[in-house]
């Protein structure tokens, strides 16, 4: 199952187990520790008194009491002294030991705070990186829904330089999209709706700074009177160059093909999303499990996709598999199209995904961190 990053109060998470960022005494304290003890009630403290404390980097487990979970896993993170006293390894051990304790108890879901990132002084960006790396390594071999709970999204520790780069990329993309729309609108004749050309209702149009008169539109059977004369005048008076120019400017709206039956049309259905996905997995050399885990998708969802050639995924699922396969942008667009979606330069989620692809970074966990920071849906999860 996937890793989710969520904005919430950890004491309100409806999961099998929540992790408490505890101190060595296990008797409560400030921050997350104090909040969990207050929400769980007196029974939690009474049980903790019997545990005899806990070593740094290790965990102990109690019942959830008044919390909406079965278990509270108390993990004692290290105090931060610059990272040179073995703190990163101890912090990683907190996550892996908590996950193993949850697995042993049959938990299918677990929620973590950012351990040691509060009064214990670990820089939030370092705490996040250690947490995600440890959880990712566990999920590579195990099935569990893991939630990393952030109390306030505005304090999410996305690296400042990355945040600035993405913000600029988004702004530039919106500007490009707006400029393109304005240029198209500027070419439309007076009275046209914004962003459209009034081909049918305008008798005059502008191109290259020159105003040209168009033939009037025939709107009824009565208008057909004299049409033969109209056609002969048009053929004699309009130079070939002008006709070619008009044809280039106003291509046929439809490329008419011989009519076929609906049954025959349905026989010509292109490769589906599921078929392209399975083909690309085979071409990549990955196993199915390696692919769906890399995509941050659980096994049950992948089984549905594999068993139904016409399966219609969500956009985030389609993007997840395109990233897991590390497809070039053209093939990402193709895979999305087969699922009925597209990447748009007027959509913040799409622009952020495109930013990472264009920078050669297909790490879904890092992309999800950026999506979370910019208040967008996460991929896969």
pLDDT at 205 over 50: no
Which of 176, 153, 174 minimizes the C-alpha distance to 370? 153
Of residues 343 and 191, the one with the higher pLDDT is 343
Token match 């990472």: residue? Answer: 356
What proportion of the chain, given as a percentage, has pLDDT over 70?
A: 76
Measured between alpha carbons, how far is 250 from 272 in angstroms, rounded to an integer?
33
Q: What is the structure's pLDDT at 180?
A: 55
Phi, psi dihedrals of residue 60, rounded to the nearest 5°: -140, 155
Least trusted range by pLDDT, from 218-232, 265-279, 338-352? 218-232
Task: Label residue 230 by pLDDT band (50, 70, 90).
Answer: very low
Question: Considering the chain, what is the average pLDDT of its residues?
Answer: 85
Pairing of strands 145-150, 109-112: parallel
> Quick one: average pLDDT of 64-73?
98
Beta-carbon-side half-sphere exposure of residue 74 (alpha carbons within 13 Å): 29
Q: What is the structure's pLDDT at 61?
A: 99
pLDDT at 238 over 60: no
pLDDT at 343 over 70: yes
Task: Label residue 46 by pLDDT band (50, 70, 90).
Answer: very high
Q: What is the structure's pLDDT at 34?
A: 96
Residues of the chain within CATH 3.40.220.10 domain(s) are 3-157
Q: What is the structure's pLDDT at 270?
A: 84
Task: Label residue 195 by pLDDT band (50, 70, 90).
Answer: very low
pLDDT at 219 over 50: no
pLDDT at 329 over 70: yes
Q: What is the structure's pLDDT at 176?
A: 72
pLDDT at 234 over 80: no
Is 371 in contact with 3 (CB distance < 8 Å)? no
pLDDT at 181 over 90: no
Q: What is the structure's pLDDT at 179?
A: 56
Measured between alpha carbons, how far is 326 from 272 in angstroms, rounded to an integer?
19
Which of 283, 287, 349 minimizes the C-alpha distance to 318? 349
Of residues 352 and 202, the one with the higher pLDDT is 352
Task: Label residue 204 by pLDDT band (50, 70, 90).
Answer: very low
Q: What is the structure's pLDDT at 224?
A: 42
> Quick one: average pLDDT of 348-357?
98
Q: What is the structure's pLDDT at 94?
A: 98
Pairing of strands 204-207, 210-213: antiparallel
Q: What is the structure's pLDDT at 174?
A: 84
Least trusted range by pLDDT, from 7-11, 80-84, 134-138, 253-257? 253-257
Structurally, at CATH architecture level, domain 3-157 sits in 3-Layer(aba) Sandwich (3.40)
pLDDT at 33 over 70: yes
Q: What is the structure's pLDDT at 214?
A: 46
pLDDT at 256 over 80: no
- In the numeric block, which tokens belong to residue 4? 């989710």
pLDDT single digits (tens) 274-321 = 999 999 999 999 999 999 999 999 999 999 999 999 999 999 999 999
* Helix axis angle, 124-139 to 364-373, nearest 10°: 140
Q: What is the structure's pLDDT at 144?
A: 97
Token match 């950026």: residue? Answer: 370
């Amino acid at each position: 199952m996937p890793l989710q990053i969520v904005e919430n109060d950890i004491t309100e998470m409806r999961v099998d187990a929540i992790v408490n960022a505890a101190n060595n005494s296990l008797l409560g304290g400030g921050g997350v520790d104090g909040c969990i003890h207050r929400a769980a009630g007196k029974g939690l403290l009474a049980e903790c008194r019997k545990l005899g404390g806990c070593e740094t980097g290790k965990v102990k487990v109690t019942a959830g009491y008044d919390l909406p979970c079965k278990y509270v896993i108390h993990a004692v993170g290290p105090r931060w002294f610059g990272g040179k006293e073995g703190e990163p390894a101890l912090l990683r051990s907190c996550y892996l030991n908590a996950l193993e304790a949850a697995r042993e108890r049959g938990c299918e879901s677990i929620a973590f705070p950012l351990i040691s990132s509060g009064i214990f002084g670990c820089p939030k960006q370092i705490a996040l990186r250690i947490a995600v790396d440890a959880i990712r390594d566990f999920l590579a071999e195990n099935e569990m829904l893991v939630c990393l709970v952030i109390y306030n999204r505005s304090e999410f520790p996305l690296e400042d330089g990355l945040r600035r780069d993405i913000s600029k990329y988004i702004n530039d993309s919106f500007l490009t999209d707006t400029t393109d729309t304005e240029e198209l609108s500027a070419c439309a004749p007076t009275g046209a709706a914004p962003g459209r050309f009034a081909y049918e209702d305008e008798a005059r149009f502008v191109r290259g700074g020159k105003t040209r008169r168009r033939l009037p539109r025939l709107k009824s059977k009565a208008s057909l009177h004299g049409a033969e004369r109209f056609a002969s005048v048009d053929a004699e008076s309009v130079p070939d160059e002008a006709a070619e120019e008009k044809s280039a400017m106003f291509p046929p709206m439809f490329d008419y093909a011989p009519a076929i039956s609906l049954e025959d049309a349905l026989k010509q259905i292109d490769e589906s999303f599921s078929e392209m996905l399975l083909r690309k997995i085979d071409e990549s050399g990955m196993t199915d499990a390696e692919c769906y885990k890399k995509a941050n998708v659980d096994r049950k969802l992948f089984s549905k996709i594999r068993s139904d050639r016409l399966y219609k995924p969500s956009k985030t699922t389609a993007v997840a598999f395109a990233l897991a396969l590390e497809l070039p942008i053209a093939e990402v667009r193709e895979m999305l199209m087969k699922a009925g979606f597209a990447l748009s330069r007027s959509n913040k989620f799409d622009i952020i995904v495109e930013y990472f692809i264009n920078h050669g970074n297909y790490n879904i966990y890092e992309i999800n961190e950026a999506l979370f920071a910019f208040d967008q849906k996460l991929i896969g999860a």
